Amino acid sequence: MAAHRRVGVAVDFSPCSNKALQWTVDNLARQGDHLVLVTISQEKDYENGEIQLWEATGSPLIPLSEFSDPALMKKYGVKPGAETLDIVQTAARQKKIEVLMKIYWGDPREKICEAVNDIPLDCLIMGNRGLGTLKRAILGSVSNYVVNHASCPVTVVKTDHH
């Protein structure tokens, strides 16, 4: 991959996605990269103009300085977790990478694959929730869908089971 890669990480601010994000920072991100957090919001509060404006195409790329602002993120219906913000702020400072966020609304499977092409991403990293066989059969696996349908390399960071 060339310099200034666009490395995507699918985040939902859960422990699973934070682990994938930390893995990306520790093992993949390097100086000059653009780290793009892709998040899918389930909120459909149409009184917020941002959602009406960007629902079809996803939000514009939001820089770290803006998505660290809770008031701004409330307009998008997204609340980044403190651990997620800590990971990306530290990475931006220490590794000199640019951190951006793109928000989509809709089905996570389809929207994550859409993000790969829209942004476009050189690679995508995501966590898995560790669903058992039965739950995965009933609910479906977002990570499995993305691995099979995304047009870039996808790495799934598995969670530890205790």
Name all domains of the chain by residue range, CATH numbers in brackets: 6-157 (3.40.50.620)
Task: Find the helix or strand (DSSP H, E) in which 7 lies.
Answer: strand 6-10
Q: Strand runs (DSSP E) across 30-133, as ranges?
A: 34-41, 62-63, 98-105, 123-127
In this structure, are residues 83 and 75 in contact, taking their beta carbons and an 8 Å threshold? no
57-67 burial by CB neighbour count: b if 16+ within 10 A, else e?
ebbebbebeeb
- d(Cα 83, Cα 85) in Å, to the nearest integer? 5
What's the pLDDT at 162?
A: 43
Q: Is the dihedral of CA 124, 152, 51, 139 positive or negative?
A: negative
Q: Which tokens in the block code for residue 44? A: 């459909």
Write out pLDDT tens, residues 19-64: 999 999 999 999 999 999 999 987 665 555 566 667 778 999 999 9
Q: Indicate the DSSP class of residue 99.
A: E
The model's pTM is 0.88
Q: Which tokens in the block code for residue 17? A: 């996605």
In this structure, are residues 79 and 11 in contact, taking their beta carbons and an 8 Å threshold? no
- d(Cα 123, Cα 149) in Å, to the nearest integer? 13
Write out pLDDT tens, residues 56-89: 789 999 999 999 999 888 888 888 999 999 999 9
Write out pLDDT tens, residues 120-131: 999 999 998 755
In this structure, are residues 42 and 104 in contact, taking their beta carbons and an 8 Å threshold? no
In this structure, are residues 46 and 77 in contact, taking their beta carbons and an 8 Å threshold? no
